[in-house]
Amino acid sequence: MDTSTHDLAALFQQLGLGHSSQEIDHFISTHQLPAGVSLAKANFWTDAQATFIKDALLLDSDWAEVVDKLAARLTVVAPH
């Protein structure tokens, strides 16, 4: 049974990205997801990263919740 914690640091590590708090904050501050674009279709992922994200959501895997949290943090909110 997989008992590992699926938090942002673990997700970034799984995606092969720097996973310290500073590296995650830097990634989020330098990458934006336009409203209406799914996280898996963002242009900054490799094919393997996009497939992992897509599968996590489609299969409602243990990673789905943290993938959703990342999408929310990356989504650009249009001003009212």
Residue 40 domain-assigned (yes or no): yes
Residue 2 domain-assigned (yes or no): no
Task: Tell me the whole-structure pTM to 2 decimals.
Answer: 0.87
* CATH classification at residue 18: 1.10.10.1130
Integer angstrom CA distances of residue 33 from 4, 37, 51: 28, 7, 17
Q: Which has the closest alpha carbon to 76: 32, 29, 43, 37?
A: 32
Question: Any idea of the CA torsion for 65, 72, 23, 32, to the nearest 10 degrees?
Answer: 140
- Note down pLDDT in tens along the chain; length 80 residues: 455 668 999 999 999 999 999 999 999 999 999 888 999 999 999 999 999 999 999 999 999 999 999 999 999 766 55
Phi, psi angles (nearest 5°) of residue 79: -70, 150
Residue 35's pLDDT is what? 81
Interatomic CA distance for residues 60 and 55, integer angstroms: 8
The number of distinct structural domains making up the chain is 1
